[in-house]
Each structure stands twice: as structure tokens, then as C-alpha cells.
């Protein structure tokens, strides 16, 4: 909790620690009331720093009781050291010594889910970023790397499974009925990668043979009821291990790799060395209950955590400002893995769309920060879309600049040069530069400048000289603390399309896509031997995390929708056309005019539905209108209800006018077969279900069809799509079906945690779920404020997706959110500060709504015991 004014930490103040820790031996006595921890630390003076005298050893530690300290086995009297709420300061008289610390903690009372805590009946840990300091006093910073051993002493009846990092080296039953196990991790690591799990867990075993022929035992631990939900995660793990060998030449380095599923977890998962801990919703799946989306998410997250073994664990971060070093790189790695396992263009569309709808607003808002931030108050607040997703785009740009082979040379150099070290984004860029003999000096600005660059493009065709020029101007809007920006180095992939829709050759080799290096604020590029006026296809494959502005007409966008050879831009042309039309309708709606739809959108959609040139996955993507969030991002002032009405009108009109085509497409893709989450089947289901969503808007027949699909589906993707469609449909009949479906769903799945999260979220986002209904659901036995998944499913989904009711005119939605933030501020500060996001963007909304949101931020600010997490976000939002 905050003192007067929480302290800001600056990157420029980074200093190496005064002491290193070479060996950390931990012993845990796990009890029902409390847990006692003994830490034996082998400490050594850091001689690369200048010391006039031996500085005190200052160890981080919060929320625990110090029982005793000794140095080299000599007890230290309490008047010789100082303990504050944040640290323990010990006098030092030697350059090398052993500190033994006994502390007592209360995992049972730990609702923050950081450090050691309880989830159901098991003990588990989450230490990244600074959770280890809630377990024992320590140098809790990633550049302090030690070898760890963990001894766990507990009642074997309650905790038959007792796990930690590395290898099991001892297992004995003690005289008092307790059991003692010891784990040793041969690799040195920062304490944020420490993990401990103890509980009554079942284990599903598998194995993997590495490329050098070593056998690795794979173990997935979960509550006994879930052993039938482990197969997909284990399959994904084996695929990830193989992929990292094939693509990066990186082998796994221990003889055992464990994953544990826990129900109470603040994030998706955590890459602890040899012992990954997963939010159960990101690892457990079986065909009867999991949707295609769940299968794909599990594949990606298992891969992400596994890939951290090299990009994060073997080579880690020097300090938390370097977080994107491991996260941006690992997100890039997991995205490439998913692209290889599924459809590459579809994965690219999903990622670019996600970045534009979610990260661009962050980068334009009050918490905007560079990929490598320069300061923070609470590091947990910097696990952001900017650090992760924009960070991955920055790595992707390097990949595109140096090419596939060059990138491999760079990553080989990076991993070999820095194996076992804690390094910086600068070290990463240097390895890429040196391995490829390129200069990334200007490119480095992507790490230090925040904000989304806007590239304005104009063109000119000189028919007489067959010359075509593109003039590009880049601008980056001011962001907090950064008013002026220097130009970025932007790799800008361009194609030129002729009047028949064919790509023009752009150089002697006949290449049809060229990557222009934009480096100046304004620059002109000339193409010669251009035989006719082309239409440009800009930033192909989303070649940089930028906004591109070019004055396309609606007719030109239609042309690109059916002809662009770049899958991403073909999709994007459809998005641009729809956004342009919907934005105009928003204006008409606000002016009280009757809405009419530009026939061109109908024509464009019709040709999508009747053309044979698109695969099913792409077609499904192209039939989805831009989300309300993306439309909002494209508006100067956000009127959430008008956006909702306008978009809804377009959907209904398309549904009516293309009824025949949607029906035919639904029928053609409604093929009875056994469920398999393969790329082809997933594409087919997504196409079928988007057609169903339009059909349900068209008439009562469509509603009957959804109801029929809900009842007859042989898989959860189809069943849940139908439920969600019904839950958002307006007719009396639909409301009745939705109610029946929700009741039967609950009846059937009330004991399945993952299903109940789905059940909560489909209601929370439902167009007819008002605030009163949300209050009711919070009282439901299925809800639990101490479980982050439930909070996200109900409160998070309501605030982020239920535009109509969250943004109601009287501001009650905002007040509700603030109430929940204040409750969570005490229970779980990380959750509280994340939940806040929607009202931090108050400046983007119409004046009335903006003022109502701001009022709630001010109310939160007045709270006495505000956590650093919430304080930082609220205070920045009010600046």
C-alpha cells in the first residue's frame, strides 16, 4: 500500500547490485495456518563496483514476519539490523558470507496471487516480476542469478505432490509423519523464475526425445477431475519443442518439464524454469467442452511459455525496463509457431487486428510508454500490449530487415554470446546488427519512442515517362513526456496493382513487393517502367506497426478487396471500406437521419460470398465487420452508442440483402463430422458460424436455425456460437431460447470451471444484459471476486464488450466499475489496475461521458489505501 507518494523508478538510475548471490537454498515448512521459510544465501561482494567500505546488504521483502537472521551461522541481534515494510538491511563485515533468514508467511491469506498463495487446496507461487520478495528477503531483481535448491516439508496426505524447479534429488519420510523432498535446479536463475507447487494433483505423463537423442519426461499436473483435459496441451508442448529445434536450433536442457494447472492465477501462464504454471483456462481442454478458440489459445500459450526457456530463462533481462527483450521476442516466436501450425495469413490478420484495436489506443492514451519504458512506479503495470505485442512487431521488423537466415544468424549469436546472462534490448539489437552487418542505429528509436507513427502517402503517375512516385510523410503524435519525435526507420512493403488486378513487376528480378526503407520525415520513392496508372497496396502484410493514410475511394477499396495479392491488405481493404461507411452512418445517426447503406458494401460482400478464390478461413475473416472498438479507434470523438447502432444497422442490412447467399454458405459448410480442431475444420466452423450470425439477424427462421444448432451441435464451438448469437438477438423468441439455453448450459456444466467462465462471459457481453443483471450474477454461486478468471469473465467482459450498458448515459456503468476497482484494490491490486483500463481513456469520449468517467477516476484517487498499481494508472490518467 502506498506511502505518501509512491516512488518512481528510472532506467537511467540502473546500477549493478552491491552483492551477488551465488547459491540459494530454500526450505519450506508448509502448514495449514502459516508457512515457515528458511533461506540460506551465499553472498559475494560485487567487486566491479567501487566501494569505500562494505555497504549494508539490503534485501527486498514485504508482507512477512522475520523470525531470525544469522550471518555465517552467527545469530544477528535485532538491534543490529533494520526492517521496514519494504526491506531488511544487514551490516556486512566480509566480502563473502552466508546469510540465513527465517521468515513466516501466510499463503492462506494471500489474495494478491503474488508470492506463495493457495488456489483451492493447493499451494502455488507466482514470482514475476517482484513476487519473490513476498516469500523471503532477497535481492529481488533479475540480474541477480543464483543456483537454487528447494526443500519442501509437508503433510503427504494433504500434499502428495510437492514440486519445484529442476530435478528431484531427495525424497524421505520424516519421523513426525511429514515428508521431505528436495529439488535442485542446475541452471542459475533470477528469483522471478522460482516456483513451488504442493497439492493433491493427478499427473498425465508423456515424453519427448530431443534432436540430440535425450529423453525428456513431460508431466502435466492437475486436479484429478481434469485428467481428460490434458492431451492437447501435451501435444502442443511436443510440437513446440520440435519447432524450437527446427527453426532456432534450440533444445530443451533438463530431463524433466512440468506444467501445473491452477484455477487462481492473475495471468495466462508463467515460464518458471522446468515448472511452468498455467491458468487452468489456458491449458485444459477436451473436445466436448473446448471451443476452437480455446484449442488455439492453448497451443499458443504452451508454446510461448516453452519458448521462454531460451528467450527469457537461459538469456534473461538485466532489469525490468528490458521486459520486452524476453516478451516481445517470445511473442514473435509464438506467433511464428502458430503461423506454421495453422494458416499464416489468418494469424497475421488476427495479430495485426489485435494490435490496432487494443495496442494503438494504449499508445494514444494516458499510459502510453515506449517498448522499453524509461520509468515506472509499479512494474506489474508494464506487462502491456505495448511491451508484448508492439515489442513483437519490432522484432518482426528486424526479422524482415535482415531476412530469415540473417535472423537465425542473429539469434544464434545472441543465445551463444549471452547464455547464462541478464542482458538488455541493446544486446539483442547488437547481436542482430553484428551477425548481419547492418546498421540499426535509427531503428532503435522503436524501443525508446512511444506513440503510433502515421504515414501519409500521396502518389503521382507520369504517363509520358512511365514513372510513378510515392511521397510519404511520417508523423508521430505527442505522448506523455514525449512531445517531439525523431523519424522512425519504417520498413514499408509496397506493391503496385494494374487495372486488371495483377501485381506489376517492380524491379529487374520481377519482384512484385518491395520493402521501402522510410527514414526521413518526408521522402519520395520513384518507380520506373510503370506502364499504366497503378493502385498502390501499402504496408503489405502489416510490415510495420503504423497507421497508413492514403485517399482510397470506396470503389478502389472494393477493387483491392477482390484483387490484392497480399492477404492482409485484401482483408484490410474490406475493413477500410466498412469503417468508412460506418463512420458516415455514425454521423447520420447523430444527426437524426434515417440510415441507408451504401450498396457497394452489399456488392462487395456478395462477391466475397460467391467468389471461389478465397479459402474458408480468409472468407470468414473478411465477412466479419470491424469491431466497435476498431471503429472507435478510427473516430476523433467516440460516441459508443451511435457506433453500436450504426454497425448493427449495417449487419442487419447485409443479413437481409444477402440472405440467400448466407444461407447457401451456411448449408455448404454445415457438414456433419466428428470434431477435430484442425486448421481446415476450424476455418469451416468459423465460416458457418459467421453466416449463422447474419442469418439470425434476418428473420425468425434464422433464430430457429440457431436454436437448432445449439441443441444439435456435436461440439462446443458450434454450440457456444449459437448460444452467443441467441444471447445477442432481439426477438421475444430469441430471448426465450437464450434463457432456456443458459439454464440448460448451467445445469449441464456447473461443475466445470472453464465452462462456467464461458457461461458468465457470454452473459456479461450480452446486448440485453443490463447492470442489474450483472449485479445479480455477482451474487450467483458461480461468481467469486477472489478468482481473477471470474472477475474478468463477468466484470471485465461487461466493461470492455457490453458497450450499450457499460456506457449508459447516467454513468452508472462507470460508477459500477469504480466500485469493483476499489474492492479489488485491497484483494488483488494487479487485477484492480487492469480492470480500470476502459475509464482511463476518458478523453477520447464525448464530453458528457468523458466527464462521468473522470469523476470516477477522481473518486478512486481519494481512496486512502490505494495500491501502487492503481495509484499509478489513475494518477497518469488524470494528468
Interface positions with Zn ion (CB under 5 A): 327, 330
Give the binding range for ligand 7MF (CB under 6 A) out of 302-310, 410-418, 619-627, 739-747.
302-310
Catalytic site includes residue 757: no
Secondary structure of 659-712 in HEC code, one letter for each residue = HHHHHHHHHHHCCCCCCCCCHHHHHHHHHHHHHHHHHHHHCHHHHHHHHHHHHH
DSSP three-state, residue 308:
coil
**Residue 391: DSSP 8-state:** H
Taking CB atoms, the residue at the shortest distance from ligand 7MF is: 383
- Between 260 and 857, name the residue whose CB sits nearer to Zn ion: 260
What cell does 639 get?
A: 460516441
Q: How far is the CB of 601 from Zn ion (least distance, A)?
A: 39
Q: How far is the CB of 310 from Zn ion (least distance, A)?
A: 12
Bridging pattern class, strands 269-270 and 275-279: antiparallel
- Between 372 and 657, name the residue whose CB sits nearer to ligand 7MF: 372
- Between 182 and 308, name the residue whose CB sits nearer to ligand 7MF: 308
DSSP three-state, residue 755:
helix
Q: How far is the CB of 300 from ligand 7MF (least distance, A)?
A: 6
Using the rule CB under 6 A, which residue among 305, 634, 684, 872 binds ligand 7MF? Answer: 305
| Residues of span 191-230 touching ligand 7MF by CB under 6 A | none
Choose among 695, 752, 692, 697: nearest CA to 719: 692
| Residues of span 481-510 touching ligand 7MF by CB under 6 A | none
Q: How far apart are CA 872 and CA 859, in angstroms?
A: 15
Q: How far apart are CA 300 and CA 304, in angstroms?
A: 6
Per CB under 6 A, 307 contacts ligand 7MF: no
Q: How far is the CB of 330 from Zn ion (least distance, A)?
A: 5
Per CB under 6 A, 233 contacts ligand 7MF: no
Q: How far apart are CA 115 and CA 109, in angstroms?
A: 12
User: Which phi and psi (to 5°) does residue 254 adopt?
Assistant: -120, 170
| Residues of span 666-695 touching ligand 7MF by CB under 6 A | none
Q: How far apart are CA 561 and CA 545, in angstroms?
A: 21
- Between 626 and 788, name the residue whose CB sits nearer to ligand 7MF: 788
Q: How far is the CB of 268 from ligand 7MF (least distance, A)?
A: 4
Using the rule CB under 6 A, which residue among 183, 252, 257, 383 binds ligand 7MF? Answer: 383
Q: How far is the CB of 676 from Zn ion (least distance, A)?
A: 29
Per CB under 6 A, 268 contacts ligand 7MF: yes
Give the binding range for ligand 7MF (CB under 6 A) out of 202-210, 261-269, 636-644, 691-699.
261-269
Q: Among all chains, which residue has been given the C-alpha cell 529481488?
A: 140
Taking residue 4's Cβ as centre, other Cβ atoms within 10 Å add up to: 5
- Between 266 and 758, name the residue whose CB sits nearer to ligand 7MF: 266
| Residues of span 329-368 touching ligand 7MF by CB under 6 A | 331
* Omega cis (within 30) before 46: no
| Residues of span 739-758 touching ligand 7MF by CB under 6 A | none
- Between 166 and 190, name the residue whose CB sits nearer to ligand 7MF: 190
- Between 25 and 299, name the residue whose CB sits nearer to ligand 7MF: 299
480 neighbors 879 (Cβ within 8 angstroms): yes
Q: How far is the CB of 282 from ligand 7MF (least distance, A)?
A: 7
- Between 141 and 849, name the residue whose CB sits nearer to ligand 7MF: 141
Q: How far apart are CA 114 and CA 126, in angstroms?
A: 5
Per CB under 6 A, 629 contacts ligand 7MF: no
Q: How far is the CB of 443 from Zn ion (least distance, A)?
A: 23
User: Per residue in 746-772, is it b (16+ CB within 10 Å) or e — as a string?
Assistant: eeebeebbbbbbbbbbbbbbbbbbbbe
Per CB under 6 A, 327 contacts ligand 7MF: yes
215 neighbors 193 (Cβ within 8 angstroms): no
Which of these is catalytic: 114, 130, 271, 305? 305
Secondary structure of 42-57 in HEC code, one letter for each residue = EEEECCCCCCCCCCCE
Q: How far apart are CA 575 and CA 624, in angstroms?
A: 9
Give the binding range for ligand 7MF (CB under 6 A) out of 267-275, 437-445, 594-602, 722-730.
267-275
Choose among 367, 265, 374, 267: nearest CA to 871: 367
Site residue total, ligand 7MF (CB under 6 A): 14
Q: How far is the CB of 64 from Zn ion (least distance, A)?
A: 27
Q: How far is the CB of 275 from Zn ion (least distance, A)?
A: 15
Q: How far is the CB of 623 from ligand 7MF (least distance, A)?
A: 27
- Between 267 and 836, name the residue whose CB sits nearer to ligand 7MF: 267
- Between 271 and 292, name the residue whose CB sits nearer to ligand 7MF: 271
Per CB under 6 A, 270 contacts ligand 7MF: yes
- CA 726 from centroid of its chain's CA atoms: 29
- Residue 269 binding partner per list Zn ion, ligand 7MF, none, with a CB distance cut-off of 5 to 8 Å that depends on partner kind: ligand 7MF
- Spatial CB neighbours of 39, under 8 Å, sequence gap ≥ 6: 24, 25, 26, 99, 100, 101, 103, 136, 137, 138
Using the rule CB under 6 A, which residue among 90, 301, 585, 778 binds ligand 7MF? Answer: 301
Per CB under 6 A, 275 contacts ligand 7MF: no
Give the binding range for ligand 7MF (CB under 6 A) out of 266-274, 462-470, 599-607, 763-771.
266-274
Q: How far is the CB of 303 from ligand 7MF (least distance, A)?
A: 8
292-307 vs 679-698: helix crossing angle, rounded to 10: 140
- Residue 480 binding partner per list Zn ion, ligand 7MF, none, with a CB distance cut-off of 5 to 8 Å that depends on partner kind: none
| Residues of span 89-128 touching ligand 7MF by CB under 6 A | 128
Q: How far apart are CA 456 and CA 795, in angstroms?
A: 39
- Between 327 and 872, name the residue whose CB sits nearer to Zn ion: 327
Using the rule CB under 6 A, which residue among 254, 269, 455, 729 binds ligand 7MF? Answer: 269
116 neighbors 196 (Cβ within 8 angstroms): yes
- CA 533 from centroid of its chain's CA atoms: 42
> What torsion do the CA atoms of 860, 866, 868, 870 make, to the nearest 10 degrees?
-30
Q: How far apart are CA 579 and CA 687, in angstroms?
A: 21
String of contacts with ligand 7MF for each residue 69-88, x by CB under 6 A = --------------------
- Residue 535 binding partner per list ligand 7MF, Zn ion, none, with a CB distance cut-off of 5 to 8 Å that depends on partner kind: none
Per CB under 6 A, 293 contacts ligand 7MF: no
- Spatial CB neighbours of 370, under 8 Å, sequence gap ≥ 6: 386, 447, 448, 449, 450
- Spatial CB neighbours of 291, under 8 Å, sequence gap ≥ 6: 716, 717, 720, 758
Q: How far apart are CA 540 and CA 496, in angstroms?
A: 11
Q: How far apart are CA 324 and CA 429, in angstroms?
A: 12
Per CB under 6 A, 271 contacts ligand 7MF: yes
- Between 182 and 304, name the residue whose CB sits nearer to ligand 7MF: 304
Going across the sheet that includes 269-270, the strands are 202-209, 215-222, 256-262, 275-279, 269-270
Q: How far is the CB of 277 from ligand 7MF (least distance, A)?
A: 10
Taking residue 228's Cβ as centre, other Cβ atoms within 10 Å add up to: 14
Q: How far apart are CA 450 and CA 447, in angstroms?
A: 8
Q: How far apart are CA 819 and CA 587, in angstroms?
A: 34
Which residues in this chain contact ligand 7MF in the complex, by CB under 6 A? 128, 267-271, 301, 304-305, 308, 327, 331, 383, 388
Active-site residues: which are they?
305
Amino acid at each position: 500500500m502506498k506511502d505518501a507518494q509512491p516512488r518512481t523508478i528510472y532506467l537511467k538510475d540502473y546500477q549493478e547490485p552491491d552483492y551477488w548471490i551465488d547459491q540459494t537454498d530454500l526450505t519450506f515448512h508448509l502448514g495449514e495456518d502459516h508457512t515457515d521459510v528458511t533461506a540460506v544465501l551465499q553472498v559475494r561482494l560485487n567487486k566491479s563496483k567501487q566501494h569505500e567500505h562494505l555497504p549494508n546488504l539490503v534485501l527486498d521483502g514485504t508482507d512477512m514476519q522475520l523470525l531470525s537472521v544469522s550471518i555465517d551461522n552467527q545469530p544477528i541481534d535485532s538491534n543490529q539490523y533494520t526492517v521496514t515494510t519494504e526491506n531488511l538491511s544487514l551490516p556486512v563485515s566480509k566480502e563473502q558470507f552466508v546469510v540465513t533468514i527465517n521468515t513466516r508467511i501466510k499463503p492462506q491469506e494471500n489474495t494478491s496471487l503474488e508470492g506463495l498463495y493457495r488456489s483451492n487446496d493447493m499451494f502455488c507461487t507466482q514470482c514475476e516480476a517482484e513476487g519473490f520478495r513476498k516469500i523471503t528477503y532477497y535481492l529481488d531483481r533479475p540480474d541477480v542469478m543464483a543456483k537454487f535448491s528447494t526443500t519442501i516439508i509437508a503433510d503427504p496426505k494433504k500434499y502428495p505432490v510437492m514440486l519445484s524447479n529442476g530435478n528431484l534429488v531427495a525424497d524421505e519420510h520424516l519421523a513426525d509423519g511429514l515428508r521431505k523432498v528436495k529439488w535442485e535446479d542446475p541452471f542459475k536463475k533470477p528469483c522471478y523464475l522460482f516456483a513451488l507447487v504442493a497439492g493433491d494433483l493427478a499427473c498425465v505423463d508423456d515424453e519427448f526425445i530431443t534432436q540430440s537423442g535425450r529423453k525428456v519426461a513431460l508431466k502435466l499436473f492437475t486436479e484429478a477431475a481434469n485428467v481428460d483435459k490434458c492431451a492437447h496441451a501435451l501435444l502442443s508442448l511436443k510440437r513446440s519443442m520440435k519447432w524450437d529445434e527446427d527453426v532456432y536450433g534450440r533444445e530443451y536442457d533438463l530431463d524433466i518439464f512440468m506444467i501445473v494447472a491452477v484455477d487462481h492465477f492473475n495471468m495466462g501462464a508463467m515460464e518458471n524454469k522446468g515448472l511452468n504454471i498455467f491458468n487452468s483456462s489456458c491449458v485444459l481442454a477436451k473436445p466436448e467442452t473446448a471451443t476452437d478458440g480455446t484449442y488455439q489459445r492453448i497451443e499458443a500459450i504452451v508454446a510461448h511459455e516453452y519458448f521462454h526457456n531460451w528467450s527469457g530463462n537461459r538469456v534473461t533481462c538485466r532489469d525490468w525496463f528490458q521486459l520486452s527483450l524476453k516478451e516481445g521476442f517470445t511473442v514473435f516466436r509464438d506467433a511464428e509457431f502458430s503461423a506454421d501450425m495453422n494458416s499464416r495469413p489468418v494469424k497475421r490478420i488476427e495479430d495485426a487486428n489485435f494490435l490496432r484495436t487494443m495496442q494503438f489506443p494504449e499508445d494514444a492514451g494516458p499510459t502510453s510508454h515506449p517498448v522499453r519504458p524509461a520509468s515506472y512506479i509499479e512494474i506489474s503495470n508494464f506487462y502491456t500490449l505495448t511491451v508484448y505485442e508492439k515489442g513483437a512487431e519490432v522484432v518482426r521488423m528486424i526479422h524482415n530487415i535482415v531476412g530469415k537466415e540473417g535472423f537465425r544468424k542473429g539469434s544464434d549469436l545472441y543465445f551463444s554470446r549471452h547464455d547464462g546472462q541478464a542482458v538488455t534490448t541493446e544486446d539483442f539489437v547488437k547481436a542482430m546488427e553484428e551477425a548481419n552487418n547492418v546498421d540499426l542505429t535509427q531503428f532503435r528509436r522503436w524501443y525508446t519512442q512511444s506513440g503510433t507513427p502515421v504515414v501519409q502517402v500521396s502518389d503521382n503517375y507520369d504517363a509520358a515517362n512511365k514513372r510513378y512516385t510515392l511521397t510519404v510523410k511520417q508523423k508521430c503524435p505527442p505522448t506523455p513526456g514525449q512531445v517531439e519525435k525523431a523519424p522512425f526507420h519504417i520498413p514499408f512493403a509496397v506493391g503496385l496493382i494494374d487495372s486488371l488486378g495483377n501485381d506489376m513487376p517492380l524491379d529487374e528480378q520481377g519482384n512484385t513487393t518491395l520493402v521501402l526503407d522510410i527514414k526521413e520525415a518526408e521522402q519520395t520513392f520513384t518507380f520506373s517502367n510503370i506502364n499504366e496508372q497503378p493502385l498502390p497496396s501499402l504496408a503489405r502484410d502489416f510490415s510495420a506497426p503504423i497507421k497508413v493514410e492514403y485517399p482510397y475511394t470506396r470503389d478502389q477499396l472494393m477493387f483491392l478487396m477482390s484483387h490484392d495479392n497480399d492477404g492482409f491488405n485484401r482483408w484490410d481493404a474490406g475493413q477500410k471500406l466498412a469503417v468508412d461507411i460506418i463512420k458516415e452512418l455514425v454521423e447520420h445517426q447523430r444527426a437524426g437521419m434515417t440510415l441507408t447503406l451504401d450498396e457497394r458494401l452489399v456488392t462487395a460482400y456478395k462477391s466475397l460470398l460467391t467468389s471461389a478464390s478465397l479459402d474458408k478461413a480468409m472468407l470468414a475473416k473478411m465477412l466479419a465487420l470491424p469491431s466497435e472498438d476498431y471503429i472507435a479507434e478510427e473516430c476523433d470523438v467516440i460516441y459508443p452508442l451511435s457506433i453500436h447502432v450504426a454497425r448493427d444497422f449495417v449487419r442487419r442490412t447485409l443479413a437481409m440483402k444477402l440472405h440467400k447467399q448466407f444461407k447457401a454458405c451456411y448449408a455448404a459448410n454445415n457438414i456433419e463430422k466428428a470434431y477435430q480442431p484442425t486448421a481446415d475444420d476450424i476455418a469451416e466452423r468459423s465460416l458457418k458460424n459467421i453466416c449463422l450470425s447474419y442469418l439470425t439477424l434476418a428473420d425468425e427462421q434464422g433464430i430457429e436455425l440457431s436454436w437448432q444448432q445449439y441443441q444439435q451441435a456435436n461440439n462446443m464451438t458450434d454450440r457456444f456460437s449459437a448460444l452467443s448469437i441467441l444471447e445477442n438477438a432481439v426477438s421475444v423468441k430469441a430471448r426465450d431460447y437464450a434463457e432456456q439455453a443458459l439454464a440448460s448450459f448451467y445445469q449441464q456444466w456447473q461443475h466445470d470451471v472453464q465452462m462456467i467462465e464461458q457461461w458468465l462471459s457470454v452473459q456479461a457481453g450480452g446486448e440485453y444484459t443490463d447492470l442489474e443483471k450483472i449485479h445479480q450474477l455477482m451474487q450467483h454461486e458461480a461468481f467469486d471476486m477472489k478468482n481473477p478468471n471470474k472477475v474478468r469473465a463477468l466484470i471485465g467482459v461487461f466493461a470492455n464488450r457490453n458497450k450499450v450498458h457499460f456506457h449508459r448515459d447516467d454513468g452508472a456503468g462507470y460508477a459500477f466499475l469504480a466500485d469493483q476497482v476499489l474492492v479489488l484494490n485491497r484483494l488483488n491490486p494487479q487485477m484492480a489496475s487492469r480492470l480500470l483500463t476502459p475509464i482511463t481513456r476518458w478523453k477520447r469520449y464525448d464530453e458528457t461521458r468523458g466527464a462521468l468517467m473522470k469523476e470516477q477516476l477522481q473518486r478512486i484517487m481519494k481512496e486512502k489505501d490505494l495500491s501502487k498499481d492503481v495509484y499509478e494508472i489513475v494518477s497518469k490518467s488524470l494528468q
